[in-house]
C-alpha cells in the first residue's frame, strides 16, 4: 500500500511537469483506481474538460479497466474524446501498475486541437491571394463537410465507445446508462426479462457496477428492484 502511494505521488509531480511543459492545450490527469469510484487525484489544465479533483474516470476508460485491457497493453493512444461543448479531443491513457503488476492508476493526456484548425485557416487566408483564397476556402468547406460526415458516421457506429468527460459520479452513471438505453426503441419499463439481462450485461461491460450507487440508479430506471439487478448480474456472470 505504501509502495502504491509512493508511485502515485511521483506521478502527481509528472502531471504538474507535463501540464506546464506542454501548455494549456493539453489536459493532464491522474486517476487513482484503487478504490471504488476511481477518481482524479491530480489535474493540470482542467479547463479543457471542466473537471476538478475528485471527478470520476471516463466511461471509455472505465470500460477498458473492466475488460482488463491493462493485462495486455501498457497504454492506449489517440482515441476520440467528446467534450460537453461538443468539441473533440485526441486522448491517450497509460496504465500505472505496481511491482506486482496490479493496476493502481491511470495517466491521461487530452489534447484540444480545435484552435489549431482555426490557425490553419487563418494562415491560408494570409498566404494566398484573394482570388485563390476563395477557391481554398471552398475546398476547405468541402473537406470539412466530408470530415463531418465521416465523424457522424463513426460516432453513430461507435457511439458506445466515444469517451465523455463527467464532473461527478451521478453524471457518469447517467451517461453510461443513457448510452446503452439509446439502443432500445421500446420504453424501458416494457423490456422483457431477456432484454433486461442483455441491458445489464452491457452496463456490466462498461464497469457500471464498479460505481457506488449504480445498482440503485439502474433499478429505478429499469423499473425493477435492486434484488432483480443482482439476480440479472448473477446470470451475466455465468
21-48 pLDDT, tens digit per residue, is 999 999 999 999 987 778 999 999 999 9
Q: What's the pLDDT at 159?
A: 58
- Residue 103 CB neighbours (<10 A): 17
Query: CB neighbours (10 Å) of residue 38?
Result: 22
Q: Which residues of the chain have pLDDT under 50?
A: 131-132, 146, 149-157
pLDDT at 131: 47
pLDDT of residue 149: 46
Q: Are 112 and 27 in contact (CB under 8 A)?
A: yes
Would you say 214 and 173 are in contact if contact means Cβ atoms under 8 Å apart?
yes
Query: What is the C-alpha R_g of the chain?
Result: 21
Nearest alpha-carbon partner for 169 in 207, 222, 219? 207
The reported pLDDT for the residue numbered 184 is 86
Q: Which cell numbers hold the place of 18?
A: 507535463
Per-residue burial over 57-92, b = 16 or more CB atoms within 10 Å of its CB, e = otherwise: bbbbbbbbbeeebbeeeeebeebbbebeeeebbebb
- Calculate the average pLDDT of the chain: 84
Which pLDDT score, from 0 to 100, does residue 151 have? 46
Residues 159 and 179: their CA atoms lie apart, in Å, by 7
- Pairing outcome for strands 103-111 and 39-44: unpaired
What three-state secondary structure class fits 28? strand
Laid out side by side, the sheet with 26-32 consists of 39-44, 26-32, 103-111, 88-97, 75-82, 163-164
Task: Report pTM.
Answer: 0.76
Q: C-alpha distances in angstroms, 163 versus 59, 83, 159, 166?
A: 6, 9, 9, 10
- Helices 193-205 and 169-181, packing angle to 10 deg: 130
At 10 the pLDDT is: 96
Encode pLDDT of 97-117 as tens digits: 999 999 999 999 999 877 776
Q: What is residue 84's predicted lDDT score, i.e. its pLDDT?
A: 83
Q: Tell me how far apart the alpha carbons of residues 177 and 227 are, in angstroms, rounded to a whole number.
A: 18
163-164/75-82 β-pairing? parallel
Burial 180-218 (b: 16+ CB within 10 A, else e): bbeeeeeeeeebeeeebebbbebbbebbbbbbeebbebb
Amino acid at each position: 500500500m505504501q509502495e502504491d502511494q509512493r508511485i502515485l505521488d511521483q506521478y502527481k509531480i509528472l502531471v504538474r511537469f507535463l501540464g506546464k511543459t506542454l501548455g494549456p492545450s493539453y489536459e493532464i490527469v491522474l486517476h487513482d483506481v484503487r478504490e471504488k469510484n476511481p477518481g482524479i487525484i491530480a489535474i493540470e489544465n482542467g479547463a479543457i474538460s471542466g473537471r476538478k479533483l475528485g471527478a470520476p474516470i471516463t466511461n471509455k476508460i472505465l470500460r477498458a479497466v473492466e475488460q482488463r485491457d491493462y493485462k495486455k497493453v501498457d497504454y492506449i493512444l489517440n482515441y476520440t474524446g467528446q467534450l460537453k461543448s461538443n468539441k473533440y479531443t485526441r486522448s491517450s491513457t497509460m496504465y500505472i501498475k505496481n511491482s506486482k503488476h496490479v493496476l493502481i492508476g491511470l495517466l491521461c493526456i487530452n489534447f484540444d486541437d480545435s484552435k489549431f484548425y482555426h490557425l490553419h485557416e487563418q494562415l491560408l487566408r494570409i498566404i494566398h491571394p484573394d482570388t485563390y483564397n476563395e477557391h481554398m476556402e471552398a475546398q476547405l468547406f468541402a473537406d470539412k463537410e466530408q470530415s463531418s460526415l465521416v465523424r457522424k458516421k463513426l460516432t453513430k457506429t461507435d457511439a458506445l465507445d466515444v469517451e465523455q468527460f463527467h464532473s461527478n459520479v451521478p453524471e457518469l452513471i447517467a451517461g453510461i446508462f443513457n448510452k446503452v438505453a439509446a439502443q432500445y426503441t421500446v420504453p424501458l419499463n416494457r423490456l422483457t426479462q431477456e432484454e433486461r439481462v442483455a441491458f445489464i450485461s452491457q452496463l456490466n461491460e462498461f464497469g457500471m457496477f464498479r460505481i457506488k450507487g449504480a445498482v440503485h440508479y439502474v433499478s429505478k430506471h429499469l423499473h425493477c428492484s435492486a434484488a432483480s439487478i443482482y439476480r440479472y448480474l448473477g446470470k451475466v456472470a455465468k
